[in-house]
Amino acid sequence: DEQIERHEYDVVVIGAGGAGLRAAIEARLQGKRTAIISKSLFGKAHTVMAEGGCAASMGNANPNDNWSVHFRDTMRGGKFLNNWRMAELHATEAPDRVWELETYGALFDRTEDGKISQRNFGGHTYPRLAHVGDRTGLELIRTLQQKVVSLQQEDFAETGDYESRIRVFHECTITELFTTSPGPGVPDGRPAIAGCFGYFRNDGRFVRFDAPAIVLATGGVGKSYSVTSNSWEYTGDGHALALRAGATLINMEFLQFHPTGMVWPPSVRGLLVTESVRGDGGVLRNTDGKRFMFEYVPDVFKEQYATSEEEGDRWYTDPDNNRRPPELLPRDEVARAINSEVKAGRGTEHGGVFLDVSTRLKPEEILKRLPSMHHQFKELADVDITSEPMEVGPTCHYVMGGVEVEPDTAMSKVPGLFAAGEVAGGMHGSNRLGGNSLSDLLVFGRRAGLHAAQHADAGRPAVAEADVAAALERAMLPFSSAAEGGENPFVVQQELQKTMHELVGIIRKGEEMELALKKLEDIATRTRTVSVEGHRRFNPGWHLALDLRNMLLVALCTGKAALERQESRGGHTRDDFPVMDSDWRHLLLVCSALGEDGIELTRQEQIPMRPDLFDLFELDELKKYYTGDELGGHRAGAG
Ligand code: FAD
């Protein structure tokens, strides 16, 4: 009989990035016994890699900024498909969350007069990103970890045990969520969260956590693609866990391909080149030396962007009297433009274009503002960005889609199951603005932790022992005789990545996606029987075999939703439906689990925007996104 380590908590947070840590801190501040679980080493989450900064309309660099400008920018960036209530909460609460980080000990870069400095970023009207050089995520994680430690010290003073109320379990992967039949506090009969199951990566030991409230903060899905800025653990675990537990996912067709990933050498293909390079003055050129972005400004953005290089250049020093350069369009626009240039034969031999910051900034400025980028290119590509251009191309970066949650509480369809950060859907609509993720993590991490703590008061549903046995059996499947003769999980993973990259990538076509879905069926069969050798100690093949099941489910959601949405919007571009269609704006594509490893897709109407928020936009702008019928309620009296 297998020994299973067992723990009981009030709130279990799965994921130790910014969203998870902020959620855990809040749950502990509410007095709850809280566990933080992370698949990788503590401190090594995506959040730590965030370079550019955290968007919050503090108005330090330009006093014209405020929450409503941020709200509007976010909605525009997401092409008005965003959950407007989340966008509102995000814009109004982000400044408080940044200031609060300072009270936890964060040290942001400063303006001359000592305020938190803010930098420009694509799609943001004013300089808005609080930052620490190009290592903002590192400071964010460092600060949140420090806060966890300080809370543990308080607990020690009170109870003699550092871990009495907040404990970190790292290198621990959760593979299953447990739900149960209606229990106390769950009146409407929906199965509620009761706990979760996983294993420790180092020795393969199994573990279960019994808890009435779980916060998913597992980040993204990038590892389903061959070229990605994401690291190994981003296999969509939280997305898949939520689906299997009975929650729904929305917006899964929308993936952000960051315009600038490294393209050379092959070993680092996909690695991110921060948008700050463009925010601080970097320009994009094709192999003819042309600054091509001026050709790619879409109609909806024409009025906000410079029409000549001279005007764009002036904007850096005089933003009030000039329009910004088109290199700072939202990411989806820039990624598509680079893709088109390379396809048209004006790309480099490695399939990228040039990004040059050396022509505008002095070497010492570059070293000060972009130290990590300088280091990255020098070490990995032997390129000195103070004097040479970088070679860049699009890379799969961020998933806008995720768990459908109640905006105010971050709770999913499953009572007791919360989601925050990249794993949650809705906030960013069809495209996320740079810098809006770090702020999202803080705002909704806190909300998820708070409401999870409140939910935990409602009672403690029991985990069914049969569910634990089933979870264990499933985790052991790749070693079992049922999997004998099955394939190596690495081979199947590569096939999945290639399928998604080539057939459901940055530019999509109906027949290619149909082909992708066929291939995914085949990959599903092969995934069910992947087999691994050896035992559970330090066995990456086994870990991947379990991750693969999640990657596949998430890929299915993306493939099906992308095929269904017959328009182009944000992070979803269809060659066969190249324009944005107002009749699609108000429709969400919702995925729910069907059987063991299938998914069902349904259409759902968006809730119309609250009138006072709707009135923040000019009618002429809304006409570009909304149908005539929907405009009736606007203050300008359209109809
Ligand atoms: P993450 O920070 O991704 O953390 C996820 C956590 O979940 C990890 O601890 C992981 O180990 C854990 N986990 C996953 N699966 C499991 C499982 N099954 N069991 C247990 N634990 C699990 N955004 C910005 O706003 N500004 C930027 O400048 C910026 N730069 C970026 C640069 C790079 C290179 C990348 C990759 C992203 C960047 N982003 C940026 C995006 C942003 O960093 C991420 O979207 C964000 O950090 C996600 O945070 P999170 O808390 O949701 O999850």
Q: What is the pLDDT of residue 182?
A: 58
Ligand 1 center from residue 369 Cα (angstroms): 23
Ligand 1, atom 6, lies closest to the CA of: 15
Atom number, ligand 1, closest to the C-alpha of residue 220: 3
Report the phi/psi class of residue 416: left, alpha or beta, with left for phi > 0 and alpha for psi in -120 to 50.
Answer: left
Q: How many CB atoms lie within 10 A of CB 379?
A: 10
| pLDDT tens per residue, range 32-46 | 999 999 999 998 999
Burial environment of residue 361 by CB neighbours within 10 A (0 to 12, 13 to 18, 19 or more):
buried
- Token pair in block for residue 319: 């933003």
Average pLDDT over residues 569-583: 95
State what percent of residues in the chain have pLDDT above 90. 86
Q: Cα 142 to chain center, whole Å? A: 20
Q: Which of 27-31, 118-122, 235-239 has the lowest mean pLDDT?
A: 118-122
Ligand 1 center from residue 15 Cα (angstroms): 9
Is pLDDT at 286 greater than 50 in this prediction?
yes
Higher pLDDT, 610 or 339: 610
What's the predicted TM-score (pTM) here?
A: 0.92
Is pLDDT at 139 greater than 90 in this prediction?
yes
Ligand 1 center from residue 432 Cα (angstroms): 14
Is pLDDT at 185 greater than 60 in this prediction?
no
Q: What is the pLDDT of residue 186?
A: 55
Q: Is 45 in the pocket of ligand 1 (CB under 6 A)?
A: yes
> Confidence band (pLDDT; 50, 70, 90) for 348?
very high
Atom number, ligand 1, closest to the C-alpha of residue 271: 34
Is pLDDT at 256 greater than 60 in this prediction?
yes
Q: What is the pLDDT of residue 481?
A: 73
Q: Is 53 in the pocket of ligand 1 (CB under 6 A)?
A: yes
Ligand 1, atom 31, lies closest to the CA of: 50
Measured between alpha carbons, how far is 275 from 371 in angstroms, rounded to an integer? 14
- The single residue listed with the structure tokens 């909460």 is 89
> Are 435 and 54 within 8 A, CB to CB?
yes
Is pLDDT at 639 greater than 50 in this prediction?
no
Q: How many CB atoms lie within 10 A of CB 459?
A: 13
- The single residue listed with the structure tokens 């803010």 is 118
Ligand 1, atom 37, lies closest to the CA of: 50
Is pLDDT at 247 greater than 70 in this prediction?
yes
Rg (CA), the chain: 24
Q: Is 374 one of the catalytic residues? A: no
- Which alpha helices (H) appear in 477-610, and where do they start and end? 489-503, 510-528, 540-564, 582-585
- Please provide the average confidence, as pLDDT, over all residues in the chain: 94
Q: Is 236 in the pocket of ligand 1 (CB under 6 A)?
A: no
Q: Is 258 one of the catalytic residues? A: yes
- Token pair in block for residue 383: 């390129």
Q: Which of 134-143, 241-250, 474-483, 583-592 has the lowest mean pLDDT?
A: 474-483
Q: What is the pLDDT of residue 190?
A: 81
| pLDDT tens per residue, range 452-470 | 999 999 889 999 999 999 9
Q: Is 191 in the pocket of ligand 1 (CB under 6 A)?
A: no
Ligand 1 center from residue 378 Cα (angstroms): 25
Is pLDDT at 482 greater than 80 in this prediction?
no
> Confidence band (pLDDT; 50, 70, 90) for 183?
low
Strands 206-210, 192-200: pairing kind:
antiparallel
DSSP structure string for 470-504: HHHHHHHGGGSGGGTTPPPHHHHHHHHHHHHHHHS
DSSP structure string for 79-138: TT-S-HHHHHHHHHHHHHHHHHHHHTT----B-TTSSBPEE--TT-SS--EE-STT-HHH
Report the phi/psi class of residue 509: left, alpha or beta, with left for phi > 0 and alpha for psi in -120 to 50.
Answer: beta
Q: Is 229 in the pocket of ligand 1 (CB under 6 A)?
A: yes
Is pLDDT at 188 greater than 90 in this prediction?
no
Q: Is 81 in the pocket of ligand 1 (CB under 6 A)?
A: no
Average pLDDT over residues 230-251: 96
Q: Is 46 in the pocket of ligand 1 (CB under 6 A)?
A: yes
Atom number, ligand 1, closest to the C-alpha of residue 398: 45
Q: Is 214 in the pocket of ligand 1 (CB under 6 A)?
A: no
Is pLDDT at 201 greater than 50 in this prediction?
yes
Average pLDDT over residues 60-68: 96
For ligand 1, pick from 232, 437, 443, 474 the residue to mutate: most ligand atoms within 8 Å of CB: 437
Active-site residue, selected from the candidate residues 131, 167, 258, 585: 258
